[in-house]
Amino acid sequence: MSVAALPGRASPGRRPNYRLRKVLVEVGSALLGLVILVWSLIPVYNMVFIALDPNGFDESAGVLWPGHATLDAFIGLWTGEVDDVEFFWQQFGNSAYIGLIVMVLTVLVGSFASFAVSRLRLAREWMLNDIALLTYIIPSSTLVIPFYRIMNQYGLMDNPWAVIGCEVAFATPYAILVLQQAGKLIPLELDDAARIDGASVWQVYLKIYVPLMAPALAAVGTYALLFAWNDYLYQYLFLTSNHHATLAVGLEQIFDDDDSPYNYLMAMSVVYSIPPIAIFYALRRYMASGLTGGGVKG
Amino acid sequence: MSFGARSRNLVAMTDFALPSVSANRPQPPFWRRSLHGSELAWAIAFVLPYLAVFAVFVLYPMGYGLWMGKDPTLYAELVDDPNYWKALVNTLVFVGVAVNVKMLAALLLSGFFMRKRLWIKGLLVLYILPWTLPAVPAYLSFHWMFVSQQGLLDTLLQAVFGIEGPLWFNSHWLALTCNMASYVWKWMPLWTLILLAGRMAIPEELYEAAKVDGAGPVDLFFRITVPLLTNLYLISTLISTIWTVSDFTVTQFVSDGGPAMSTGVLATLGISYALDRAQPYLGVAAGLSILPVMIPIVIMLMRKLRSSEVQL
């Protein structure tokens, strides 16, 4: 007898209030859905609303929609003819450069390490996990102070690679944890069979590990990109010149300036938000299972 | 009917249901395994990049940091500074309240998003948006919503409910709550997704079988979902706690530490010692003073991840 058929058959007859309960559940979830929708979108709406305001002062005008909504701020960003935003595209490029390199390096470094330990059986899996977790003992917001002195000593101030190195170091531990869990779902026999058929270690990595781990790798890559895109502290402290500053730093500079045009600031914020959103939604279907992998029982 | 015993059996059953073949095989300790020649060379070559990153960007600055914070007089100075105590209390409240509220809400919402309705799937896409939004712009937007009574939030309260909203950043607790709400907004979707994936991996048959035995929704949640998600939930909470302790951006941008520096956390206090007061050693000491909390958390994480390997 099919188990799946049971609830449908048993319910209406046995419980007279079944219908009522069903309606209540639907109404309840519709209400909850409405709350979630408002909760998720209000800050985004606020951002867009200020960006569309022609004067940049409606954020404190007690209105819910700018009187004369205009795309002037976005056009100004595009043409770069406004004083405060002349570095916008430069900074946007710097953010993208750092974000993409952190993404690629985290995926490579993390997957190499996880592959060596759990697939080539170099060491027990917990050893790599423990090393990765050691990174978390001192908060990264504290480590930035010794880092600041180190970068000064080695002449790495105002160098994007100083930021990239730190961000890869802080993003890789979580990447390794996710990859280690996901890797448990792929039988080691696959590797062994390939090796017997004459595949080299590199071929096993490229032809077996990477394709089968694609969801986890996509999840880890997205995580690393967002990590770099979210970071402010390291970029603010290490990237001192306008030439190398990222948008996170640029936004803060405009924010600090008292008569800065807030509509431009929020227009910059909207544009700054587009790449991670686009990349996330593009990779989303690959990573459905990737974030936890085997973590359920873990 | 002893549903408890039955569900334990069902839990044991999933050990076979999940494809965890490889992890069950007993492995000899790594030093007795015959990994040699080119095999060993490959393995070392693969692990070397991470070990290099770890040595240069983790061990070295950690050693440097511990050296900077080794002077006991620094901690005496911290104890004498009322700002330090405020920041410590704020950090503990922030982590204790915000992380747990966020994780609990994520656990419950992941159940909501399991419902098989098209509009709920569509809602999930929008719900994830906050996580993909970069931190600085998102928190700046929150800042402007809260900062004035003419801001969007109080204007909305006036328009929809006809009530005069408070001055959010005028009281310490209200401002701290604003910081925590912004933080929950930003990070709840990530953990909802993770717990959602965890729920999806629980075999549907478990629920079907329990329903046949007459279990209601509450039974299903506490006797199947909770036991099977406990490990994932704990690991997630521990990781999230660590990340939150080092969160500088939310406090810096939402309340900017205000009113009168009362909502500062250890992350912002350390930086303000180092930059505004040019006392980097004191800044490091402020951060290191949270180690009695961080070390047990990291050790718990290590043990959790290790024991789950045995369990799998």
Same domain, B47 and B154: no
For testing contact with chain A, the best of B24, B110, B131, B141 (most A CBs within 10 A): B141
Q: What's the CA gap between B248 and A170, in Å, rounded? A: 15
Q: Which of A61, A79, A97 is the last residue of a domain?
A: A79
Average pLDDT over residues B25-46: 67
Within 8 A of B130 by CB-CB distance, chain A residues are: 40, 43-44
Within 8 A of A205 by CB-CB distance, chain B residues are: 46
What is the number of domains present in chain A? 2
Per-residue model confidence (pLDDT) at position B149: 76
Residue A265 contacts B where some CB pair is shorter than 8 Å: yes
Q: Does residue B224 fall inside a structural domain?
A: yes
Give the tokens for residue A148.
């600041």
Cβ separation of B65 and A146 shorter than 8 Å?
yes
Same domain, A129 and A224: yes
Residue B259 contacts A where some CB pair is shorter than 8 Å: no
For residue B61, cis peptide bond before it (omega within 30 degrees of 0)? no
Q: What's the CA gap between A246 and B171, in Å, rounded? A: 33
Per-residue model confidence (pLDDT) at position A60: 60
Instruction: Report the share of chain A in percent with pLDDT over 90.
Output: 42
Average pLDDT over residues B62-69: 94
Same domain, B43 and B191: no
Same domain, A56 and A98: no
Same domain, B39 and B137: no
Same domain, B54 and B89: no
Average pLDDT over residues A258-286: 84
Same domain, B164 and B58: no
Residue of A3, A141, A172 lying closest to B212 (CB–CB): A3
Per-residue model confidence (pLDDT) at position B19: 36
Same domain, A93 and A75: no
Residue A96 contacts B where some CB pair is shorter than 8 Å: no
Cβ separation of B61 and A32 shorter than 8 Å?
no
What is the number of domains present in chain B? 2
Residue A276 contacts B where some CB pair is shorter than 8 Å: yes
Instruction: Give the angle subtended at the CA of A217 by the CAs of B130 and A100, to the nearest 5°.
Output: 65
Q: Which of B68, B88, B112 is the last residue of a domain?
A: B68
How close, in Å, is residue A81 to chain B by CA atoms? 22
How close, in Å, is residue B54 to chain A by CA atoms? 6
Q: Does residue B178 fall inside a structural domain?
A: yes
CATH number of domain containing A194: 1.10.3720.10
Q: Which of A79, A96, A115 is the last residue of a domain?
A: A79
Q: Which residue of A lies nearest to B292 if distances are taken between CA atoms?
A: A137
Cβ separation of A185 and B43 shorter than 8 Å?
no
Q: Does residue B222 fall inside a structural domain?
A: yes
pTM of structure: 0.86
Same domain, B64 and B154: no
Same domain, B86 and B147: yes
Same domain, A124 and A260: yes
Q: What tens digit of pLDDT does each residue of A121-168 get?
A: 888 888 888 999 999 999 999 999 999 999 999 999 999 999 999 999
- Residue pair B261/B248 in contact (Cβ under 8 Å)? The answer is no
Position A9 pLDDT exceeds 80: no
- Write the single-letter amino acid at A45: Y
Cβ separation of A7 and B211 shorter than 8 Å?
yes
- Residue pair A263/A54 in contact (Cβ under 8 Å)? The answer is yes
Quickly state the pLDDT bin for B246 (edges 50, 70, 90).
very high
Per-residue model confidence (pLDDT) at position A11: 47
CATH number of domain containing B170: 1.10.3720.10
Residue B173 contacts A where some CB pair is shorter than 8 Å: no
Q: Which of B49, B68, B87 is the last residue of a domain?
A: B68
Helix extents (H) in A138-246: 140-153, 160-183, 188-196, 201-204, 210-212, 214-230, 233-238
Q: Which of A51, A79, A107 is the last residue of a domain?
A: A79
Q: What's the CA gap between A297 and B19, in Å, rounded? A: 11
Low-confidence winner among A110-114, B143-147, B163-167 (lowest mean pLDDT): B163-167
Same domain, A67 and A96: no
Q: Does residue B26 fall inside a structural domain?
A: no
For testing contact with chain A, the best of B68, B140, B228, B312 (most A CBs within 10 A): B140
Position A4 pLDDT exceeds 50: no
User: Phi/psi of residue B70, each to 5°?
Assistant: -85, -15
Same domain, B131 and B224: yes
Residue B127 contacts A where some CB pair is shorter than 8 Å: yes
Q: Does residue B11 fall inside a structural domain?
A: no
A264-285: b (≥16 Cβ within 10 Å) or e? bbbbbbbbbbebbeebbeebbe
Same domain, B249 and B275: yes
Q: Which of B41, B68, B95 is the last residue of a domain?
A: B68
Same domain, A67 and A210: no
Q: Does residue B24 fall inside a structural domain?
A: no
Same domain, B154 and B202: yes
Same domain, A30 and A148: no
Same domain, B48 and B84: no
Average pLDDT over residues A209-221: 89
| Domain extent for B248 | 77-311
ipTM: 0.87
Same domain, B55 and B143: no
Same domain, A24 and A55: yes
Same domain, A90 and A216: yes
User: Phi/psi of residue A76, each to 5°?
Assistant: -60, -40
| Domain extent for A102 | 86-296
